[in-house]
Amino acid sequence: MPVAIPLAIVGAAGLGAGASLIGSGEAASAAKSAASQSNALESQIYSQNSANAQPYIQAGDAANTALQGFLGIGADPAASQKALSNYLNSTGYQFDLNQGLNAVETSKAAQGLLGSGSTLQALDSFATGKANQYGQQYEQNLQNVAGTGQAAASALAGQGQSYANSVSTNNTNAANATGNAFVSGANTFNGLLGNAMNAFSFAKGGSSFGGGSGGSYASGIGNMIGG
């Protein structure tokens, strides 16, 4: 049997194997590219969510600090004094206080008691009651803002976990696709090598194809091309 015939068949099989190897490499490259693009998109989405949440988180942190100072938590006299000053100078409190004090003075003036002790007592009573009333409202306002900041931080933490899971899944899928592509390429190469060895054995009159020294030509060809 001329050696050229089986060698030609092996060469054709080699071209097919080469195409298969190239295809495996392209599949692996496509999987990596897809994972990279998906990760970039996930990163962009998380960055935007983080930017959207930051104002609420920062406001919540500031409100929580003010609340602790207003309640005297943390043993920081300077923080407590600042919180009290912010409260006393707040627009809402000052407006309500002045409106109320003016109303008391107007009422006492109509009674001819503007400079009396009852007027001073009434003014002090109103101011104390307004401070207690507005103080509770001020505290509730701080709690609301702090709660909003906490909710934003929790939501961002959840989005961060989702982002990490998505990236991990993308990378795992890409790694699996790459591994499968290399396994497929290795199997193709091993098959080509086996076919080449069978072809040379057949060309030398060996019995690799199960038909004695002459062998079955059709069977040998089938083994060489893997079918």
User: Distances in Å between the alpha carbon of 89 and those of 26, 100, 138?
Assistant: 69, 16, 12
Q: Please state whether 116 falls in left (phi above 0), alpha (psi between -120 and 50) or beta.
A: beta
Residue 201's contacts (CB-CB under 8 Å, 6 or more residues apart) are 207, 208
Specify the number of domains making up the chain: 1
Question: Which runs of consecutive H residues, i.e. helices, occur in the chain?
Answer: 4-71, 77-88, 91-110, 117-203, 217-224
What are the tens digits of pLDDT across the range 44-69? Answer: 888 898 999 999 999 999 888 888 88
pLDDT at 221: 44
Q: Which two tokens stand for residue 54?
A: 């930051």
Residues of the domain holding 50: 4-224
Residue 168 pLDDT > 70:
yes
pLDDT in tens, 118-154: 888 888 888 888 777 787 888 888 899 999 999 999 9
pLDDT > 90: percent of the chain? 11
Nearest to 196 by CA among 4, 7, 35: 7
Q: Tokens at residue 213, please? A: 């020294």
Return the number of other C-beta atoms located less than 10 Å from residue 211's C-beta: 14
pLDDT at 203: 57
Confidence band, pLDDT 50/70/90 cuts, at residue 187: low
Cβ(102)–Cβ(114) under 8 Å?
no
pLDDT (average), residues 81-108: 82
Residue 211 has pLDDT above 70, yes or no: no
Give CA–CA dist 168/59, Å, rounded: 32
pLDDT band at 166 (very low <50, low <70, confident <90, very high): confident
DSSP 24-77: HHHHHHHHHHHHHHHHHHHHHHHHHHHHHHHHHHHHHHHHHHHHHHHHTTTS-H
Q: What is the pLDDT of residues 115-127, one digit of tens each?
A: 788 888 888 888 8
Q: Span 183-209, mean pLDDT?
A: 58
| Residue 53 CB-density burial (10 A; 0-12 exposed, 13-18 middle, 19+ buried) | buried
- pLDDT per residue as tens digits for the range 15-52: 455 555 565 667 677 777 777 888 888 888 888 989 99
If pLDDT is split at 50, 70 and 90, which confidence band does 214 have? very low
Give residue 198's pLDDT. Answer: 64
